[in-house]
Structure 1
Amino acid sequence: MRRLPPLNALRAFDATARQLSISAAAQELHVTHSAVSHQVRQLEQWLGKSLFVRHAGGVRLTAEGQSLKQAVDQSFSMLVARCEEIAEQAPIAEIVLGAPGSFLANWLIPRLDRFEANYPGIRVRLQTSTAMDDLRRQVVDCLIVSDRNWPADVEVVSLFDETAGPVCAPSWPHRIAKPTDLPSQPLLHTSSRPHAWMEWASRNGVEPAMFAEGRRFDHLSLLLEAAAAGLGVAIAPALLVERELSQGKLIAPLGFESNDAVFALCAMRGRSDKAFCDLREWLVKESAA
């Protein structure tokens, strides 16, 4: 705990030390002569030192008073400057954006510095989430998720068409030249998109039931790590495996194709605050680029 004299006493001392007159200090502070005198005496009692020598024309500072004046001048000037600086600062708006972890890592985080440079008054806090209930319970302010069907109470702005395809380690020993090569190989699934393999098979003219079996993972990041480690062949959206492909950890032997889903920015209907609108506009521009 800081041991300081009363602030009002310091203010009275500051005005008196600058004016070298109790009457002038009282006028500056809009209080009575006796109020200033009382505050100065209180400060002198607190310090156990005389700060002024009184005379008929006013007051003059003692050596201790001169020393305190220098400290008070510096401190009050610093306080005034910092308070003005804080008062003039634009408020920082925070917005919580939820998205799949792979989307954050592969697409959004590498671009986030550009957003912050263009919108210094907005702080985006990222959270791994794909649940509409998180949006409804205001755990997140908005979501970027991939889907085909959207709830009626949610406003949706499309960003990317989703393309998906099989991915595996570059050293994967089994031949993958066509869709029918895959049913006999270990397949990797994710709980967030449990039917992804069967949907892909249906689009490629292969019996979907042949793609139902395989190892399952709770999260896409674990799925991709398993594929990179050579545990099997995964299916994943192209957008979410860009980093693994560019790093050579995974390959896409059959490429990627549209699955009619889109990555979209979702928010509760009617949301129109400036931070959200600015983020929405920036995401649309970035996705178009």
Structure 2
Amino acid sequence: MRRLPPLNALRAFDAAARHLNISAAARELHVTHSAVSHQVRQLEEWLGKSLFIRHAGGVRLTPEGQSLKQVADQIFSQLQAHCEELAEGAPVAEIVLGAPASFLSNWLIPRLDRFESAHPHVRVRLQTSGTIEDLQRQVIDCLIVSGQNWPANVDAVRLFDEHVGPVCAPDWAHRIGAPKDLIGQPLLHTSSRPHAWEAWAAGNGLEPASFANGRRFDQLSLLLEGAVARLGIAIAPATLVQREISHGRLIAPLGFIATGATFAFCSMVGSPNEAVRDFSEWLQEELSGATPDSPC
């Protein structure tokens, strides 16, 4: 048996969180102001957490409320879309794609509407984690990952070779004329690639130990924001930083070098999943003709 709060309370919270106004939520749901307030209080009591901070101009979300809003947005949107598709009688195929969060946010999500427009009856559910083992255990249907060697039962379709390089705010360009100029400068690292700087240094004939220290970030997106904010010089794959470079927020003063790894779209050999094949073909079309340093 599922242990969930009342659905009406979740609907009232969802409306109030989107509008940040109880009266507007009541109008959307065609109920009274007090009914929405009661449902929200009921949900807060069920959770044992405050979801809103009330003030004269309306309400604002607490950290717990913001967290629940993100989940509610996703779940209600998926439920609405699926119900609409069922009502139309169109079969829907859902595939679960695992990929690094940085790849999803910086490359795939800005393009995903193109795939869904071309394949309206395929739903791609994104998962910001995933390993070859998850693919083999069928936890996910497909995987985008950087690597060099693939198991025999995994079909790995090359998307593009991985190139990495230093990136920094534009006004730092005068400090960097050669790789050795980075020694002693503040370096930014990400936990997903903890040794990226050291590998880059070795590839440029420099002592890796000189590049081991610096500020660390949990995610690539935070790493790049740190570079934009002039906290230091980051290192990132060309593909995942292209948007910031094209918008002039960052520059790559020394360009990018190949790591020997390849970003690949992985699925199980012999998989009968037609939607996975459609997605693989679309990815290859999106990347056809692109250069390693400019896959956009």
- Same-fold status (TM-score > 0.5): yes
DSSP 3-state at the match of 1:188? strand
Alignment partner of 1:204 is 2:235: no
- Change in 2 beyond 3 A, CA 1:151/1:183: farther
Partner of 1:103: 103
DSSP 3-state at the match of 1:251? coil
For 1:95, give the aligned amino acid.
I
Partner of 2:224: 224
**Structure 2 Cα separation of the partners of residues 173 and 200 of structure 1:** 19
Alignment partner of 1:182 is 2:189: no
**Structure 2 Cα separation of the partners of residues 175 and 108 of structure 1:** 33
- Change in 2 beyond 3 A, CA 1:274/1:213: same
For 1:155, give the aligned amino acid.
D
How many Å apart are 1:130 and its aligned residue?
Answer: 4.2
For 1:195, give the aligned amino acid.
H
| Structure-to-structure mapping, 1:7-26, within 5 angstroms | none
Report the more deviating stretch, 234-243 or 101-110.
Answer: 101-110
Partner of 1:90: 90
- Change in 2 beyond 3 A, CA 1:86/1:163: closer
For 2:135, give the aligned amino acid.
L
Q: What is the CA deviation profile of residues 116-169 of structure 1, one whole-angstrom value per residue up to 9, with x for unaligned ones?
A: 122122111222124334334444221111122334443211101111100111
| Structure-to-structure mapping, 1:162-177, within 5 angstroms | 162-172=162-172, 175-177=175-177
Q: What is the CA deviation profile of residues 169-226 of structure 1, one whole-angstrom value per residue up to 9, with x for unaligned ones?
A: 1233871110001121111111111121111111111111211111222221121111
CA contact 1:102–1:241 (8 Å) conserved in 2: no
- Change in 2 beyond 3 A, CA 1:86/1:159: closer
For 2:207, give the aligned amino acid.
E
Which entry has the higher C-alpha Rg, 1 or 2? Answer: 1
Give the percent of matched residue pairs that are identical in Structure 1 and Structure 2: 66
CA contact 2:173–2:253 (8 Å) conserved in 1: no
DSSP 3-state at the match of 1:284? helix
Partner of 2:240: 240
| Structure-to-structure mapping, 1:1-289, within 5 angstroms | 89-172=89-172, 175-289=175-289
Report the more deviating stretch, 162-171 or 103-112.
Answer: 103-112
How many Å apart are 1:240 and its aligned residue?
Answer: 0.1
DSSP 3-state at the match of 2:171? coil
For 2:131, give the aligned amino acid.
A
DSSP 3-state at the match of 1:124? strand
DSSP 3-state at the match of 1:282? helix
- Change in 2 beyond 3 A, CA 1:143/1:199: same
CA contact 2:244–2:250 (8 Å) conserved in 1: yes
**Structure 2 Cα separation of the partners of residues 168 and 149 of structure 1:** 32
**Structure 2 Cα separation of the partners of residues 233 and 191 of structure 1:** 15
For 1:201, give the aligned amino acid.
A
Structure 2: gaps (5+ residues): 1-84, 290-296
For 1:135, give the aligned amino acid.
L
**Structure 2 Cα separation of the partners of residues 191 and 148 of structure 1:** 20
TM-score (norm. length: structure 2)? 0.64
TM-score (norm. length: structure 1)? 0.65
**Structure 1 Cα separation of the partners of residues 250 and 88 of structure 2:** 51
How many Å apart are 1:264 and its aligned residue?
Answer: 0.6
Report the more deviating stretch, 148-157 or 176-185.
Answer: 148-157
DSSP 3-state at the match of 2:175? coil
CA contact 2:130–2:140 (8 Å) conserved in 1: no
How many Å apart are 1:112 and its aligned residue?
Answer: 1.6
For 1:175, give the aligned amino acid.
R
- RMSD of equivalent CA atoms: 2.2
DSSP 3-state at the match of 1:172? helix
DSSP 3-state at the match of 1:171? helix
For 1:245, give the aligned amino acid.
I
